[in-house]
A = this chain, B = another copy of it.
């Protein structure tokens, strides 16, 4: 079987990302959150008071898609919303949200360590800079 895609960085990027995201979501599933929810909670934890729009811009998620995401985390009791002015709300973690974020952080640490462990040693030093150059 000839594989005309195997030498293409763009294709390898997509397959690697897809594979790692599946693994990450599997690791997160006992916590009852998706990778998107997880990154949202970690971002709020590090930036208490940021708005939904701020979050969307940081995570590359459109405003229209932030609404149901934040609504879900609110329904689960993980975040609180406090009006900043008449149209925006500062986001913060509740105590349950903070505990969940701590559990998420542990999953992230394990996941990232195992990802790095799979990389050829010579690739490790430049890997993240290479990826960042493709979207930063």
Q: Flag whether A72 is at the interface (Cβ < 8 A).
A: no
Q: What are 25 contact pairs spanning A and B, CB under 8 A?
A: A1-B50, A1-B54, A1-B58, A3-B46, A4-B46, A5-B39, A5-B43, A7-B128, A10-B20, A10-B24, A10-B111, A12-B128, A12-B132, A13-B13, A13-B17, A15-B60, A15-B131, A15-B134, A16-B17, A16-B132, A17-B18, A18-B135, A118-B133, A119-B130, A120-B126
A116 in the interface (beta carbon within 8 A): yes
Q: Give complex CA distance A118, B13 in Å.
A: 14
- Please name all residues of chain B whose beta carbon is closer than 8 Å to the beta carbon of A84 when the two chains form the complex: none
Interface size of A in residues (CB-CB distance below 8 Å): 53
**Copies of this chain in its oligomeric complex:** 2
**Which residue on chain B has the smallest CB distance to residue A118?**
B133
Q: With A11-B39, A14-B21, A123-B127 given, is the CB distance from A47 to B134 under 8 Å? A: no
A131/B46 in contact, CB under 8 A: no
- Measured between beta carbons, the chain B residues less than 8 angstroms from A60 are 15, 18-19
A112 at the interface (CB under 8 A from B): yes
